């Protein structure tokens, strides 16, 4: 079936939110709804209609996202994907996703990215799991650092209400955003949400707190976190520090911020909901087994225009291969592309030469930010290698350190 589809106008916001509430099975409080409305680009929304009834929603944020090499690339940040339960399995989602990808291409964005509410959905639309995350818990009493942990005696900790130091937080974040693929620049509405401290933001924890690591030259890092206070039957403190965000411009500031959080009085546990899989804290802990971690997917990436996307990022090693791309959602990508790249630059052009490997477009998305999913896909039989070693060569060239991580759901 084909349903009418178009962007919404602001008076239709309530209906748009109602579809999301029903599709996700939640009831967003009014404060959160208004916050999300302030972030929304109405001309980049899409709604699907069955008669007069809105039955599907999606939207796009115009992001500037870091790719390997440190360039900020225009990226379509897909969000708000929902379908009324009454209209599942009727082509609503497929119609929205295809129209959205065409719109992203028309906007000139070669890459789309999203956070997946369900990880089994987006592969069929060409998205690949491009970044992973760790959620972890550290017990304070076992959190000593290695003897040679970096330290700078000029650094000091300053405690401050988050709202009062917002300008300093924004400046520090802007200075580090390109250091890791997947990070994206934040506009004012994103910062409003990041520093919000309504009751539902707290999730049973205390108020949002902030500490800054600084020297006489200015701020070199910050941490945003919450604390819950409790005591056990034995009278010992059982409080918890829950990390919201930690950013640092150098290793000494990074170590000092972690040390402060792990040494907070009247707490015995620190939890972090999402951190990069190569978070340096793992190397700082003298006993790394004390970091109890859960691994999960984070950012998903889709190459909307293969040639432009592949030439926009840097490469860790030389590569010269013909890649046959299968893409039935964005047919302009389907075909054979010669990628010639080295650390100084890249060229990608369509050719008729025999391919060195054949890949679904989602495989390129999974490797795009440098997370290295091509080898496991070959082992799983999801890629075809026509020239021995081609997959290893491409995977090596597309790998990157540090590993990708967006750090904030959009």
With pLDDT > 90 as the criterion, what percentage of the chain qualifies?
Answer: 94
> pLDDT for 53-91, tens place per residue?
999 999 999 999 999 999 999 999 999 999 999 999 999
pLDDT band at 233 (very low <50, low <70, confident <90, very high): confident
In this predicted structure, the answer to whether residue 142 has a pLDDT above a threshold of 90 is no
122 is catalytic: yes
> Do 284 and 255 contact (CB within 8 A), yes or no?
yes
pLDDT of amino acid 234: 87
Active-site residue, selected from the candidate residues 61, 173, 184, 410: 410
In this predicted structure, the answer to whether residue 1 has a pLDDT above a threshold of 80 is no
Task: Tell whether 39 is in a known binding site.
Answer: no
Beta bridge partners of 360: 326
The rounded distance, in Å, linking the Cα atoms of 228 and 206 is 6
What is the sign of the dihedral through the CA atoms of 280, 286, 288 and 291? negative
What is the sign of the dihedral through the CA atoms of 269, 246, 273 and 128? negative
DSSP 29-93: -HHHHHHHHHH--GGG-EEEEETTEEEEEEEEEEEEEE-TTS-EEEEEEEEEEEE-GGGTTTTHH
Stretch among 123-127, 139-143, 153-157, 281-285 having the lowest mean pLDDT: 139-143
DSSP letter (8 states) at residue 332: G
In this predicted structure, the answer to whether residue 250 has a pLDDT above a threshold of 90 is yes
The H or E element spanning position 320 is strand 319-326
pLDDT of amino acid 2: 86
pLDDT of amino acid 231: 87
In this predicted structure, the answer to whether residue 232 has a pLDDT above a threshold of 80 is yes
Alpha helices in 263-318 (DSSP H): 281-284, 306-312
Task: Tell whether 303 is in a known binding site.
Answer: no
Task: Tell whether 138 is in a known binding site.
Answer: no
Task: Tell whether 89 is in a known binding site.
Answer: yes
Task: Tell whether 220 is in a known binding site.
Answer: no
Axis crossing angle, helix 13-24 with helix 30-39, rounded to the nearest 10? 110
Task: Tell whether 111 is in a known binding site.
Answer: no
Active-site residue, selected from the candidate residues 36, 122, 125, 173: 122
The rounded distance, in Å, linking the Cα atoms of 358 and 369 is 20
Q: Where in the chain is the domain with CATH 3.40.630.30?
A: 5-109, 145-286
Q: Where in the chain is the domain with CATH 3.30.1050.10?
A: 306-360+369-398
Q: pTM for this structure?
A: 0.95
Given this structure, which CATH class describes domain 145-286?
Answer: alpha beta
The rounded distance, in Å, linking the Cα atoms of 368 and 126 is 13
> pLDDT for 343-389, tens place per residue?
999 999 999 999 999 999 999 999 999 998 899 999 999 999 999 99
Q: Which of 117, 54, 52, 122 is nearest to 86 (CA)?
A: 54
Domain 5-109: assigned CATH number: 3.40.630.30
- Which distant-in-sequence residues (6+ apart) come within 8 Å of 286 by Cβ? 144, 145, 146, 147
> pLDDT for 146-190, tens place per residue?
999 999 999 999 999 999 999 999 999 999 999 999 999 999 999
CATH topology for the 306-360+369-398 domain:
Nonspecific Lipid-transfer Protein; Chain A (3.30.1050)
Task: Tell whether 206 is in a known binding site.
Answer: no
> Do 279 and 174 contact (CB within 8 A), yes or no?
no
pLDDT of amino acid 141: 85
For 285-311, what is the mean pLDDT?
A: 96
pLDDT of amino acid 235: 82
3-state SS assignment for residue 158 = strand
User: 373-377 long-range CB contacts below 8 Å, 24 or more apart?
Assistant: 373/128, 373/129, 373/130, 374/398
pLDDT of amino acid 59: 98
Mean pLDDT of all residues belonging to the chain: 96
- Residue 117 — left, alpha, or beta (φ > 0 → left; ψ -120 to 50 → alpha)? alpha
pLDDT band at 111 (very low <50, low <70, confident <90, very high): very high
pLDDT of amino acid 140: 85
pLDDT of amino acid 236: 85
> pLDDT for 114-136, tens place per residue?
999 999 999 999 999 999 999 99
Task: Tell whether 52 is in a known binding site.
Answer: no
The H or E element spanning position 217 is none
The rounded distance, in Å, linking the Cα atoms of 288 and 267 is 20
The structure tokens listed for 102 are 């065409």
Task: Tell whether 82 is in a known binding site.
Answer: yes
């Amino acid at each position: 079936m084909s349903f009418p589809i178009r962007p919404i106008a602001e008076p239709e916001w309530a209906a748009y939110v109602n579809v999301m509430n029903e599709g996700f099975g939640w009831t967003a409080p009014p404060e959160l709804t208004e916050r999300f409305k302030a972030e929304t680009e109405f001309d980049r929304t899409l709604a699907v209609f069955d008669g007069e009834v809105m039955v599907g929603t999606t939207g796009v944020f115009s992001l500037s996202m870091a790719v390997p090499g440190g360039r900020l690339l225009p990226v379509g940040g897909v969000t708000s994907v929902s379908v009324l339960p009454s209209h599942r399995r009727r082509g609503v989602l497929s119609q929205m996703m295809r129209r959205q990808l065409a719109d992203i291409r028309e906007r000139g964005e070669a890459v789309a990215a999203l956070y997946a509410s369900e990880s089994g959905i987006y592969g069929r639309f060409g998205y690949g799991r491009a970044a992973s995350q760790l959620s972890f818990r550290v017990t304070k009493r076992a959190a000593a650092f290695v003897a040679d942990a970096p330290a700078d005696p000029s650094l000091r900790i300053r405690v401050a209400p988050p709202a009062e130091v917002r300008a300093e937080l924004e400046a520090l974040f802007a200075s580090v955003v390109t250091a890791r693929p997947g990070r994206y620049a934040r506009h004012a509405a994103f910062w409003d949400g990041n520093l919000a401290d309504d009751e539902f933001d707290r999730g049973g924890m205390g108020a949002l707190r902030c500490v800054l690591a600084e020297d006489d030259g200015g701020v070199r890092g910050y941490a945003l976190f919450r604390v819950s206070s409790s005591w056990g039957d034995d009278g010992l403190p059982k409080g918890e520090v829950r990390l919201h965000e930690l950013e640092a411009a150098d290793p000494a500031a990074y170590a000092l911020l972690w040390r402060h959080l792990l040494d907070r009085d009247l707490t015995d546990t620190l939890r972090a909901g999402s951190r990069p899989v190569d978070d340096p804290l793992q190397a700082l802990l003298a006993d790394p087994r004390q970091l109890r971690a859960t691994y999960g997917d984070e950012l998903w990436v889709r190459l909307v225009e293969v040639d432009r996307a592949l030439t926009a990022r840097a490469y860790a090693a030389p590569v010269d291969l013909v890649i046959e791309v299968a893409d039935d959602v964005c047919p302009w990508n389907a075909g054979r592309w010669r990628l010639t790249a080295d650390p100084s630059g890249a060229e990608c052009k369509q050719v008729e030469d025999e391919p060195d490997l054949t890949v679904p477009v989602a495989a390129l998305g999974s490797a795009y930010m440098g997370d290295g999913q091509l080898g496991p896909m070959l082992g799983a039989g999801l890629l075809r290698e026509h020239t021995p070693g081609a997959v290893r060569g491409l995977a090596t060239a597309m790998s990157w350190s540090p590993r990708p991580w967006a750090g904030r759901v959009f």
